[in-house]
Amino acid sequence: MSLRRILLAASLAMSVASAGAAHAQQQPSLAPAKPYKPVLVSPPAEMKDADLEALRGKIGEAVKGRDRAALAPLTVAQGFFWDRESGDAGKGKPGLDVLAAALGLTSKDAVGWDILAAFADDPSAAPSQTRTNAVCAPAAPRFDAKAFDALLKDTQTDVSEWGYPVSPGIEVHATAQASAPVVGKLGLTFVRVMPEESAGNPAYLRVLMPNGKPGYVTVDSLAPFGNDQLCYVKQGGTWKIGGYIGTGEPQ
């Protein structure tokens, strides 16, 4: 299982926990658990580009040494963008400084280095919808947006309460243990995560299958919907890290 998948799943666990806390402040409980119509989802497609793969390899080497200096030639010096809700936080600033701020690369032990490694490890990428000539990773999964919106409306849920399997046939256990009986398997459809009830085991998430039955899956078996993205641009015919989309990591 790739580091990227593990970090995505950890992000999902945190996002649904936050969603649960927010719901708890507004109402006694989340929307009731009930069966829901499966909405098909396809994992992000890989981007086949030898030069981009080479860049990602170099990023991985820089991460191993926690070496900011090694990241400098891999990152655009000027024009690095950091798109957040508040606007472009990178405008006019040196690219490496913006990247370090976005990922929290403030020390050799910073979790941001592991996240950067995860980005580099992800083989997917897709053209940015907001930035010309940029490709960003991880790419979004492919699905029917109207069907997903209808699913949210029917279940009275928020997008942060949903994830998708990283592969078909994920086993769902009766309890948060690998030895627990298997009560079902997940297909390649969106799956609801139930944050209001803790699994008591940080390695597992409690989910609700489309048939309305609950169970537990490992955190590395699901990916969250809507992630931060690392973006790449070509400068002088060479791929470089050129931007970041999302809130970034806490400093």
Nearest to 91 by CA among 59, 120, 131: 131
Residue pointed to by tokens 């891999």: 74
Q: What is the rounded distance in angstroms from the CA atom of residue 29 to the CA atom of residue 156?
A: 12
The secondary structure of residue 40, as a DSSP letter, is B
Report the pLDDT averaged over residues 221-245.
Answer: 90
pLDDT tens-digit series, residues 162-220: 999 988 999 999 999 999 999 999 999 999 998 755 567 788 999 999 999 999 999 88
Count structural domains, the chain.
1
Percent of the chain residues past pLDDT 90, beyond the cut? 57
Range of the domain at 186: 1-251
pLDDT at 151: 97
pLDDT at 86: 77
The secondary structure of residue 159, as a DSSP letter, is G
Q: What is the rounded distance in angstroms from the CA atom of residue 74 to the CA atom of residue 51?
A: 12
Q: What is the rounded distance in angstroms from the CA atom of residue 36 to the CA atom of residue 152?
A: 10
Amino acid at 88: D
**Is the predicted pLDDT of residue 15 greater than 80, yes or no?**
no
Q: What is the rounded distance in angstroms from the CA atom of residue 21 to the CA atom of residue 44?
A: 29
CA dihedral 41, 221, 213, 152 (to 10 degrees): -40
- Residue 108 gets the label, from left (phi > 0), alpha (psi -120 to 50) or beta, of alpha
Cis peptide before 35 (omega within 30 of 0): no
Helix (H) or strand (E) holding 218: strand 214-218
pLDDT at 198: 56
